[in-house]
Structure 1
Amino acid sequence: MASVNRFIQFNNESIDTNLLHSMEMLAGALSDAPYLKVTTRKLVEFRPSEAAISISVFWRHRPREIERAGYKSDIFLMAAGYWRDFSLQAWRRIKSTQSSLPELKQQLLLCAEEFRLSEKVSTERPGTKHAFSIREKVYTGYHKDQFRQNRQKGFQADAFLNAAYLRLQGTELAGTEAWEPLFLLWSRMYDARSTEDSAYVVESMMGRLEFLMDEDMVHSYYTFGEEQEEAAPFRYHEGMEAEDSGSEEKMDTIEEWFQSWHRETETSESAAMEFELERGDSGYAEGGREAQGAGEVEYTAQGDSDGEHREGNDAEDEQREGTPKQAGKKFGSANSHVVYTESRIVASGDSKALIDAWRRKQAPHVRALLQELKKRMSLRRTGVRTNLNAGRLSRNLLPLVLEERPKPFYRKTAPSKELDAVFCLLIDGSASMIDKLDETKQAVLLFHDVLRGLGVPHEIVLFYEDAYEASDAMQPNYFQWMHKLEDGSRDHSAQIVAMEAHEDNRDGFAIRWMSDRLHKRPEKHRFLLVFSDGEPSAYNYAENGVVDTADAVAEARRGNIEVLHLFLSSHPITDEQASFYRMMYGNKSVSADSLEQFVEQTLRLLKRTLHLVIQTG
């Protein structure tokens, strides 16, 4: 797991996941495309193969009001403007027409369309005017500065684009007199009503521009994103009928372009996947089985049932452990290529002396906490609240006669023989945990002993990703149980001591996997604790891993699962690190500033959550 303390400070960028999530919700609402994701890139882009649009990092490191307004203007422009009012046919024509200045031609069209669509959206949606006014003010200053630099360096095409943007905003620059005939044509953009109109204006200027300029643009101020195709590449498989293979589809809007990719992705991940799994084909990565389709079924699925639990199911579950399973879209789009394996950690035989030593050290803490909690539980079972305005009528009715405002009612605290709670502990199994393993094992052992002493069902799982086998097509992940919910109060201290550090960690996927298990539990209070020593780090899981983890935490909390995070560090936590983890876990993230504090912080987490369970029943 990579630390948030990166090598170069200016590369130590962190994403405001709450802001990104709100931008995603806004984009989905404006475009009526709930599947749409929002990412960050250098320039705004359309990426239908990822079902994503990208907002520009141009707005970073600015005052918060400007940053938020800038991101919003990106979303307004793409999801309410380009989405349905940009003609792909006109864009294809501009790109296919031969020119000695292809970059200038394309960027001029995108500049013209940004102006046209900004005006259109702000007129139709007056609430967007504030964001667009801030956008224009910031970009006006930016293009003025760029114009001066490009003129000094002799980048005439770049300077012309800067001047063209400023002319649309009503700003005239000194030294552009030779371009006035071009700007006269450019002024027709004020009357443009479609992409075809914008393309006509640009094409009318290109002949003179090609005569005046010898070199194309050096910088990119606008970009479209992925290369536009007629439709998403169709994935045919043997399990389909011939008529299902589809036909070529003509699209003229970005909305249709994204929908074709979305439909094709849905199809390929349903029927095609089912057919391949039934046949046992494995095409996940190079270096796989040589004779594809010749083996047995490689993946098996297990359905959920609300019926009665059959005897012998536990044995079947044991047999299914170790069988790889495909994550699909169940655990988030960032984890669609994950293949995960569940198994139990095998206990080592020479750990008894070490376990006994740790337990002797922790005994006073465990004993004190158990006594305190059991005392609180006993008081709650026998407690009676008197002098109430409502409830059961007391046998002592004298207050009705003697007191002006009598309160002759009482209530008994609802009896509770057991704590109606379940706890699950996820432990980061990445390589960076290797220097913290002993302290982590002691903290986990304390967690295990306290909950066993109270008879509270709990689960302890180590999670990691195999970095050496991960590829674009498959990311192998592993969950290793030290103690399962079904194990009751059995002692699995030997399995806790046997856990080891591995490679990477895919936190969002692990949280969703554990949340899925917790959703099936009947307990009123459900807690998910995450022990980790850094940020998510896995294959193709850098920037989107932070967002995916924050989304997984939010989804769990919406499902009435309380997610708590303990950051394990051998050094005092910095403000930057604290802010980073609050971004993913909210105010439910605490840190251990030294190795010696792991057990102490675990004890505090348990005490706080168990007190809450007892208090609320």
Structure 2
Amino acid sequence: MTSINRFIQFNNETVDTRLLNRMEQLARALSSAPYLRLSTRKLWEFRPSEGAVSMSVFWRHRPKEIEQAGYLSDIYLISAGFWRHFSLRSWRRFEQVETHLPELAAQLLLMAEEFRLSDRITAERPGTKHAFEVREKIVTGFHSDQLEQNRKKGFWADAFLNAAYLKLRGKDVSLNDELDPLFLAWTELFSADSTADSARTIQKILPQLEYLLNSDALHTYYTFGEPAEKMPPPRYHEGIEAEQSEEEEEIDTIEEWFQSWHRETELNDAAALEYELERGDSKLADGGREEEGAGEVEQTGTGESQGEHREDNLADEQRKDEKKPKKASGRFGSANDGVVYYESRIEALPFDRQQLQQWRSEQAPYVRALLKEMQKRMQQRIESERTNLHAGRLSKNLLPLVTDERPKPFYRKTAPSKQLDAVFSLMIDGSASMVDKLDETKQAVLLFHDVLRSLKIPHEIAVFYEDAYEAGDDKQPNYFEWLHKFTDGMTDHAAEILSLDAHEDNRDGFAIRWMAGRLKQRPEKHRFMLVFSDGEPSAYNYADNGIIDTAQAVSETEKMGIEVMHLFLSGESTSEEQAAFYRMLYGNKSVSADSLEQFVEQTLRLLKRTLHLVVQAL
């Protein structure tokens, strides 16, 4: 697991997940593309093969109002401008023109289109005007500074780009006597109505630029991302003859380009099924179906016999089923599409019974005090039936309304049940960095288990981790090991808790969604998820996107009516930076243990907090 205390301070920068999530939802809404993903990069760009767009980090480290307006302008340009109104056909034709200034030409076209589409967006959506005004003010100052630097260094192609931007904003700038006349044709962009018009204007001045400039632009102010010719590969399957049309369907908009890649991804998810449909059974022998019986037995059935062996067979079958890998298949967030996961019981190892007895004796006063407090609170909430009240349920005996001067025809009923209508789950980070906190974590988990067993509250405890050594681009194996399951009732699983161990990486967003799916099926009114961890999410290809994915998972889970709480386990005093980081992920439902001795105390506080909420709802 990575730590948020990194060696170099500027590397300690984290993504504002809540802001990024809002911007992603806005991009999806404007583009009508619910599959669209958003990230931050040096420049705004498109990556259709990943189903992703990026807004620029250019807006970071500025006042919050400017930063947000800048990000908004990026989103408006990407999803309300370029998405449907930029012609890929015109762009491809433009790129086919041979020139020794390809970088300058490409950036001039994107600059011209940004100018054209900004005006179009503000005309169609007047509410976007403020964001573009902020953008123009900041970017104009940036290009003014860059113009002076590039002119001094003799980078004339870059200087022309800076001056071209400023000319479109009505600024009076000059380069030299040879380049200045080209801006007369450049101003034709004020009347451009399409990508083809913008390309035509640039092609008009490009020959003269080639004559006057010896080298291409060195700096990148605009980039499109993936090249336009990068299209989804054709799909062919053995055993089926594909009729290929002589003329391929030409994609003209970015929206169509993304949709084609999105369809390709969906088809890939069902590749095994397609193979089965096109070829028949993929395990056929060479001679046909008649020879299939010669293969090995792959599955056995269990009969309805009442013999003693039946339970053993069912247990064996369940253990075999737990060893089978399951694919995420897009059900747990796009950052976890390559995950395969395994669910199993943790193996109970031999443990020190004297140590267990000591921990339980130390925790017994806390458990008894909490139980006594809960019983007292519940008793206060339970009222016996009382009659002759000014408010409550209307009695069937309405005679006092006629006979009494001050009638009291209302009553209150007895509370139906003392049972707490709640369910809990505890997710434990099983990454390698937990190795120095295992004893304290076991004590906290044991307290959690004992309190809920005493209150007869159903709960589940699971440790999660990723196998860092087996993880790769194709798949990332993840493991869930149950210490206690909902179906176990109030069974004591202290042996399993004391068998808890540290492993490799942690994929928090995936684990939270996995447990949320289980809690969602529960009938209880109050559902709580506690997450014990000691640092950032850290797994294969799960850095910044892991932080974003975890924050989104928490948000999605809370929308299901499941309250997510987080306990940060640390052997040192928690810094303000760490506290702010976890507030970003979990909101105000994240607490920290500043020392190993506080693990049990903070766990007790979390349980008290949640149980009080349940009692109040009785």
TM-score (norm 2): 0.90
Q: Is the 8 A contact 2:384 2:414 kept in 1?
A: yes
Residues 40 and 485 from structure 1, CA distance in 2 versus in 1: closer, same or farther, beyond 3 angstroms? same
Q: 1:201-244: per-residue Cα shift (whole Å, max 9, x none)?
A: 11111111111111111110000001223631234444867469
Q: Is the 8 A contact 1:234 1:264 kept in 2?
A: no
Counterparts of 2:556 and 2:295 in 1: how far apart (Å)? 38
Counterpart for residue 33 of structure 2: 33
Residues 276 and 471 from structure 1, CA distance in 2 versus in 1: closer, same or farther, beyond 3 angstroms? farther
Counterparts of 1:196 and 1:186 in 2: how far apart (Å)? 14
Cα shift at 1:249: 2.5
Which of 392, 397, 409 is the matching residue for 1:390?
392
Counterparts of 1:487 and 1:585 in 2: how far apart (Å)? 29
Counterpart for residue 252 of structure 1: 252
Cα shift at 1:388: 4.0
Cα shift at 1:176: 4.0
Residues 267 and 247 from structure 1, CA distance in 2 versus in 1: closer, same or farther, beyond 3 angstroms? farther
Counterpart for residue 322 of structure 2: 321
Q: 1:416-456: per-residue Cα shift (whole Å, max 9, x none)?
A: 14221111100011111111111111100000000111111
Q: Secondary structure of 1:113's partner?
A: helix
Residues 244 and 373 from structure 1, CA distance in 2 versus in 1: closer, same or farther, beyond 3 angstroms? farther
Task: Name the amino acid aligned to 1:507.
Answer: D
Q: Is the 8 A contact 1:366 1:446 kept in 2?
A: yes
Q: Is the 8 A contact 1:24 1:38 kept in 2?
A: yes
Instruction: Tell whether 2:419 aligns with 1:428.
Output: no
Task: Name the amino acid aligned to 1:601.
Answer: Q
Task: Name the amino acid aligned to 2:354.
Answer: A
Counterparts of 1:327 and 1:608 in 2: how far apart (Å)? 33
Q: Structure 1 stretch 456-465 or stretch 23-32: which is displaced more?
A: 23-32
Cα shift at 1:130: 0.7
Q: Is the 8 A contact 1:279 1:296 kept in 2?
A: no
Q: Secondary structure of 2:62's partner?
A: coil
Counterpart for residue 287 of structure 1: none
Counterparts of 2:238 and 2:591 in 1: how far apart (Å)? 52
Counterpart for residue 378 of structure 2: 377
Counterpart for residue 517 of structure 1: 518
Matches within 5 A, 1:150-169: 150-169=150-169
Instruction: Tell whether 2:539 aligns with 1:559.
Output: no
Counterpart for residue 614 of structure 1: 615
Counterpart for residue 306 of structure 2: none
Residues 411 and 16 from structure 1, CA distance in 2 versus in 1: closer, same or farther, beyond 3 angstroms? same
Counterpart for residue 303 of structure 1: none
Counterparts of 2:617 and 2:179 in 1: how far apart (Å)? 75
TM-score (norm 1): 0.90
Residues 567 and 240 from structure 1, CA distance in 2 versus in 1: closer, same or farther, beyond 3 angstroms? farther
Counterparts of 2:372 and 2:545 in 1: how far apart (Å)? 45
Q: Structure 1 stretch 224-233 or stretch 440-449: which is displaced more?
A: 224-233
Matches within 5 A, 1:595-614: 595-614=596-615
Matches within 5 A, 1:250-329: 250-272=250-272, 275=275, 316-329=317-330
Counterparts of 2:264 and 2:392 in 1: how far apart (Å)? 62
Q: Is the 8 A contact 1:239 1:275 kept in 2?
A: no
Task: Name the amino acid aligned to 1:95.
Answer: E
Residues 558 and 298 from structure 1, CA distance in 2 versus in 1: closer, same or farther, beyond 3 angstroms? farther
Task: Name the amino acid aligned to 1:509.
Answer: F
Residues 579 and 261 from structure 1, CA distance in 2 versus in 1: closer, same or farther, beyond 3 angstroms? same
Q: Secondary structure of 1:205's partner?
A: helix
Task: Name the amino acid aligned to 1:156.
Answer: W
Task: Name the amino acid aligned to 1:611.
Answer: H
Instruction: Tell whether 2:338 aligns with 1:337.
Output: yes
Task: Name the amino acid aligned to 1:206.
Answer: L
Q: Structure 1 stretch 406-415 or stretch 437-446: which is displaced more?
A: 406-415
Residues 57 and 298 from structure 1, CA distance in 2 versus in 1: closer, same or farther, beyond 3 angstroms? farther
Q: Is the 8 A contact 1:464 1:506 kept in 2?
A: yes
Counterpart for residue 9 of structure 1: 9
Q: Secondary structure of 1:39's partner?
A: strand
Q: Is the 8 A contact 2:174 2:180 kept in 1?
A: no
Q: 1:221-275: per-residue Cα shift (whole Å, max 9, x none)?
A: 0000012236312344448674699983310110110010011111111244674
Cα shift at 1:6: 1.4
Q: Is the 8 A contact 1:70 1:134 kept in 2?
A: yes
Q: Which runs of 4+ in 1 moved over 3 A?
A: 174-178, 234-248, 271-281, 294-299, 311-319, 378-388, 392-404
Counterpart for residue 19 of structure 1: 19
Q: Secondary structure of 2:181's partner?
A: helix
Cα shift at 1:323: 1.2
Counterpart for residue 570 of structure 1: 571
Counterparts of 1:7 and 1:280 in 2: how far apart (Å)? 52
Q: Is the 8 A contact 1:280 1:295 kept in 2?
A: no
Counterparts of 2:332 and 2:297 in 1: how far apart (Å)? 23
Residues 396 and 353 from structure 1, CA distance in 2 versus in 1: closer, same or farther, beyond 3 angstroms? farther
Counterparts of 2:185 and 2:296 in 1: how far apart (Å)? 68
Counterpart for residue 120 of structure 1: 120
Task: Name the amino acid aligned to 2:453.
Answer: R
Cα shift at 1:18: 1.6
Q: Is the 8 A contact 1:237 1:272 kept in 2?
A: no
Residues 363 and 53 from structure 1, CA distance in 2 versus in 1: closer, same or farther, beyond 3 angstroms? same
Q: Secondary structure of 1:320's partner?
A: helix
Cα shift at 1:346: 0.8
Q: Is the 8 A contact 1:566 1:592 kept in 2?
A: yes
Matches within 5 A, 1:222-261: 222-229=222-229, 231-238=231-238, 242=242, 248-261=248-261
Cα shift at 1:154: 1.7
Counterparts of 2:28 and 2:258 in 1: how far apart (Å)? 13
Q: Is the 8 A contact 1:150 1:159 kept in 2?
A: yes
Counterparts of 2:599 and 2:160 in 1: how far apart (Å)? 61
Task: Name the amino acid aligned to 1:437.
Answer: L
Cα shift at 1:151: 1.4
Counterpart for residue 480 of structure 2: 479
Uncovered stretches (5+) of structure 2, i.e. residues with no partner: 284-293, 300-310
Q: Is the 8 A contact 2:351 2:498 kept in 1?
A: no
Counterparts of 2:349 and 2:230 in 1: how far apart (Å)? 59
Counterparts of 2:521 and 2:572 in 1: how far apart (Å)? 38
Task: Name the amino acid aligned to 2:503.
Answer: H
Counterparts of 1:276 and 1:162 in 2: how far apart (Å)? 57
Q: Is the 8 A contact 1:380 1:415 kept in 2?
A: no
Counterparts of 2:297 and 2:274 in 1: how far apart (Å)? 11
Q: Structure 1 stretch 49-58 or stretch 350-359: which is displaced more?
A: 350-359
Q: Is the 8 A contact 1:429 1:502 kept in 2?
A: yes
Task: Name the amino acid aligned to 2:548.
Answer: V
Q: Secondary structure of 1:359's partner?
A: helix
Cα shift at 1:382: 4.4
Residues 33 and 350 from structure 1, CA distance in 2 versus in 1: closer, same or farther, beyond 3 angstroms? closer
Task: Name the amino acid aligned to 1:419.
Answer: L
Counterpart for residue 290 of structure 2: none
Cα shift at 1:8: 1.1
Counterparts of 1:472 and 1:380 in 2: how far apart (Å)? 55
Counterpart for residue 446 of structure 1: 447
Counterparts of 2:540 and 2:521 in 1: how far apart (Å)? 30
Task: Name the amino acid aligned to 2:164.
Answer: A
Counterpart for residue 592 of structure 1: 593
RMSD: 2.8
Percent sequence identity over matched residues?
A: 63
Task: Name the amino acid aligned to 2:220.
Answer: S
Counterparts of 1:247 and 1:506 in 2: how far apart (Å)? 45
Counterparts of 1:133 and 1:295 in 2: how far apart (Å)? 71
Cα shift at 1:463: 0.3
Q: 1:536-560: per-residue Cα shift (whole Å, max 9, x none)?
A: 1111111111111111111111111
Counterparts of 2:271 and 2:298 in 1: how far apart (Å)? 17
Q: 1:20-73: per-residue Cα shift (whole Å, max 9, x none)?
A: 111111111111111111111100000111111100010111111111111110
Matches within 5 A, 1:98-177: 98-177=98-177
